[in-house]
Structure 1
Amino acid sequence: MTQQRPVPPLPSPKERRRLREAASLTQAQVAEQMGVARETVRAWESGRTTPRGPQREAYAKLLASLNKADMVTNTQETAPRPQVTAGLDAKGRKDRRPRPPGPASTPLLDPALASTLELQPVAPLAALTSPAPLAPGACAAAPPPPGTSLTPAQAFDALYAFCAPALVRQTYLLSGRRELARESVERAFQLAWQRWPEVAVDRDPAGWVRATAYEFALSPWHRFRPRYRHPEPPPADASDRALLDVFLTLPAPQRRTLLLYDGVGLDLPETAAETEASTPAAANRLLRARKVIAARLPDLADPVELHRRLAEVASAERLRAAKSPTVRLGSERRARFWTRAAIAFTIAIIGATALTARTAPTRYEPPVPPGETVQGVPPRTAPGALSDAELNLRAKLRAEAQPGPERLLPEGR
């Protein structure tokens, strides 16, 4: 009679996710260590499935080591993502924003859509994330080694070097315009440099810049600019051109959700948080966008194939971002220009107000026109004393009988 080995206990699904995030590990990294797919780790953390056999023992050992490291380092309950502190004092600026809910709290989706398409995430490709192999959806620069501090300019350059090339390709897919993609990324990083003390301590500085670039690229006011009134030349390849045409026909929210989930590789809660929508709304947008693309291009019904084709379309275009020092100097020049313009406008208003107060009269004095002689006006006729001729005429008229018809008198009977 063989004796069964005791089953190692596992923490709750919520605790599994917390331990992984506290160790700054992604689901893909845990899946690589366990030798399973990323979707399997997602299912373990959401509570849909539970590992068994050797996988359960290995997973329990991994979680035990993460728990021990968490207790030794005395980290917070939910550790933030790697962030570029850039030598800035981040003490006292604790990020208290609520994290997006995990997959276990995602409500049910539209049954008609969920039965038609299968919602499975795909791993990001370097063409849409970064030139270096990073975590899914993250393109932020790695934190500096312990004991070293970077200046704000060096930290900004590191973030720009890791994010800008991939972000230009993403923005091109989102807008379909090459110049607009470069301009959007440049404006996003200029704004990030102006607000660097805020961006440097953000939980996800790359997400902050990405959201800003997407908002600028999807602005409806670009249609009124002369340089963007006419379409740009499409891609040379026919299949790339067909995919980009179908992708650009999607509504802006669906296009952005599909790019973040199937292109960048963010999780569904992270995609919903970045698009400022609920998790069910983001899921329905994604499913509807996939349904439209599958109807127009049946070969891309598979999300993995769609993800690969999006990366190919983005990589086919030669899109280069400006140099980091150029962006920083442009941001500083732009800030100086608007500061001087605001000061000049304020001085102009103050000067106009002072001049008006100095020259304006204190009371109203109606103008009196000077008198002048008017020629050719008949004498004024007004009642007054009669002349001798008028008196004689009146007496004559009263004395003489007035001619007229005979007066008829009734006769009495």
Structure 2
Amino acid sequence: MTRSPATPLPPPEERRRLREAGSLTQAQVAERVGTTRETVRAWESGRTNPRGRKREAYAKLLDSLAEVEVTVPQEEPTPEPEAAAVPLTPAQAFDALYAFCAPALVRQSYLLTGRRELARESVERAFQLAWQRWPEVAVDRDPAGWVRATAYEYALSPWHRFRPRFRHPEPPPADASDRALMDVLLKLPPPYRRTLLLYDGVGLGLPETAAETEASTPAAANRLLHAREAVATRLPALADPTELHRRLTELASAERLRAAKPPTVRTGSERRARFWTRAAIAFTVALIGTTALTVRTAPTRYEPPVAPGAEIQGVPPRVAQGALSEAEAELREKLRGGMTSGPERVLPLSR
């Protein structure tokens, strides 16, 4: 029996409980439903909900897990002494988030930029900033989304075009179909490219995609439709969103992109924070020194301005130039005539 598009689903906590009760991993559920592990994780956290055929397959899987749980009698658990839960240190929690998100995030950044080195740098900078703001990121509703948005912003920054190392394009993918898809992606405007990657690549819902791209839901939907249309025009085989998702995953996985180790990222973040702290201290000291020098050299008493000049009586006014007299006109003609062949030079006499 085919389910309707509005097939009811249990709450997110129940979805996770049923999966764990059936001894299934998120990757196994993703394989059965036909999606990615990150998408299943988003479904279980309540950030997104499945749509269409994936919703039907996911609901059918959860129903089968619930039926198995009802038919199989549950054994009474043996009471065990409660073990004290040891909380993770900030470094351990950061390393866990990095290990979970960084590999996929590097590949996504590569799809955004077409540059391998820039993709790795974007992810490292995003996690360095996350480590600097770890108290804020640790309590965020979606730490992975926080880091992803930061990495995307850095990767799509227009200032990279002025960097000498990024003025020339990198070698394209080896496969011809991968080159064609990458060429289509890079010709999309950055907002359209980012929306397409989040919705059809990562698997976010339309409201979540709009929120992460800082756009309204209608604007995000419009960008998605135009991006899909541009891809389908150049590559008709990718008109189906399912096929487009598969090709995006293959293209991202074709490149061997490796992220740095978590301790290296944390060390780089701390080094960068120390550098900017010292730079701020040096600037403050220079500003204080300049202010002190100004105060030291500034006049300490009031000096009145120079008084304006006074009018002097008895001096005849300057006469304006008028017509020349006969003697002056004759002298002018004589001088003009003498300048034709050059004036005679006066030589000193030796004694």
Residue type matched to 1:149 in 2?
Answer: P
The one of 321, 324, 330 aligned to 2:268: 330
Secondary structure at the aligned position of 1:150 is classed as coil
| Residue of structure 2 in register with 1:293 after alignment | 231
Distance in 1, matches of 2:184 and 2:84, equals 48
Distance apart, 1:202 and its partner CA: 0.9
The one of 303, 306, 316 aligned to 1:364: 303
| Residue of structure 1 in register with 2:108 after alignment | 170
Distance in 1, matches of 2:17 and 2:51, equals 10
| Residue of structure 1 in register with 2:96 after alignment | 158
Structure 1 residues 319 and 360 mapped into 2: Cα distance closer, same or farther (>3 Å)?
same
The one of 156, 171, 177 aligned to 1:218: 156
Secondary structure at the aligned position of 2:11 is classed as helix
Structure 1 residues 36 and 169 mapped into 2: Cα distance closer, same or farther (>3 Å)?
closer
The CA RMSD over aligned residues, in Å, is 3.7
| Residue of structure 1 in register with 2:192 after alignment | 254
Alignment of 1:184 onto 2:122: yes
| Residue of structure 2 in register with 1:79 after alignment | none
Distance apart, 1:316 and its partner CA: 1.7
| Residue of structure 2 in register with 1:201 after alignment | 139
Distance in 1, matches of 2:65 and 2:262, equals 45
Where do 5+ consecutive residues of structure 2 fail to align? 1-5, 20-25, 36-42, 44-48, 71-82, 307-313, 317-351
Alignment of 1:344 onto 2:282: yes
Distance apart, 1:283 and its partner CA: 2.0
Distance in 2, matches of 1:280 and 1:212, equals 23
Distance apart, 1:267 and its partner CA: 2.0
The one of 179, 183, 191 aligned to 1:241: 179
Check conservation: 1:260, 1:266, Cα contact below 8 A: yes
Distance in 2, matches of 1:179 and 1:295, equals 30
Q: State the identity as a percent.
A: 73
Alignment of 1:265 onto 2:256: no
| Residue of structure 1 in register with 2:326 after alignment | none
Q: Deviations over 1:143-177 (max 9, x none)?
A: xx982311000110111111111100000001111
Residue type matched to 1:271 in 2?
Answer: T
Check conservation: 1:20, 1:26, Cα contact below 8 A: no
| Residue of structure 2 in register with 1:353 after alignment | 291
Q: Deviations over 1:45-77 (max 9, x none)?
A: x9x9xx9xxx7x958968x99xxxxxxxxxxxx
| Residue of structure 2 in register with 1:113 after alignment | none
Alignment of 1:21 onto 2:2: no
Q: Quick check: 310-319 or 336-345, which moved more?
A: 310-319
Structure 1 residues 37 and 320 mapped into 2: Cα distance closer, same or farther (>3 Å)?
closer
Residue type matched to 1:21 in 2?
Answer: P
Structure 1 residues 166 and 58 mapped into 2: Cα distance closer, same or farther (>3 Å)?
closer
Distance in 2, matches of 1:61 and 1:24, equals 10
Where do 5+ consecutive residues of structure 1 fail to align? 1-12, 66-144, 368-380, 384-413
Distance in 2, matches of 1:154 and 1:27, equals 28
Q: Deviations over 1:113-149 (max 9, x none)?
A: xxxxxxxxxxxxxxxxxxxxxxxxxxxxxxxx98231
| Residue of structure 2 in register with 1:126 after alignment | none
Distance apart, 1:245 and its partner CA: 0.6
Q: Deviations over 1:380-405 (max 9, x none)?
A: x979xxxxxxxxxxxxxxxxxxxxxx
Residue type matched to 2:106 in 1?
Answer: V
Residue type matched to 2:12 in 1?
Answer: E
The one of 143, 147, 166 aligned to 2:85: 147
The one of 216, 219, 223 aligned to 1:278: 216
| Residue of structure 2 in register with 1:306 after alignment | 244
Secondary structure at the aligned position of 1:231 is classed as coil
Structure 1 residues 382 and 182 mapped into 2: Cα distance closer, same or farther (>3 Å)?
closer
Secondary structure at the aligned position of 1:203 is classed as coil
Distance apart, 1:304 and its partner CA: 1.7
Larger Rg: 1
Distance in 2, matches of 1:41 and 1:27, equals 17
Task: Name the count of aligned residue pairs.
Answer: 269
Residue type matched to 1:333 in 2?
Answer: R
Check conservation: 1:182, 1:321, Cα contact below 8 A: yes
Q: Deviations over 1:213-269 (max 9, x none)?
A: 001111111112222122111112221111101011111111111111111112222
Counterparts of 1:379-394 in structure 2, within 5 Å, are: none
Distance in 2, matches of 1:321 and 1:294, equals 32
Residue type matched to 1:310 in 2?
Answer: L
| Residue of structure 1 in register with 2:256 after alignment | 318
Check conservation: 1:167, 1:185, Cα contact below 8 A: yes
Counterparts of 1:50-65 in structure 2, within 5 Å, are: 58=63
Structure 1 residues 146 and 268 mapped into 2: Cα distance closer, same or farther (>3 Å)?
farther
Distance apart, 1:348 and its partner CA: 0.7
Distance apart, 1:21 and its partner CA: 2.2
Secondary structure at the aligned position of 1:157 is classed as helix
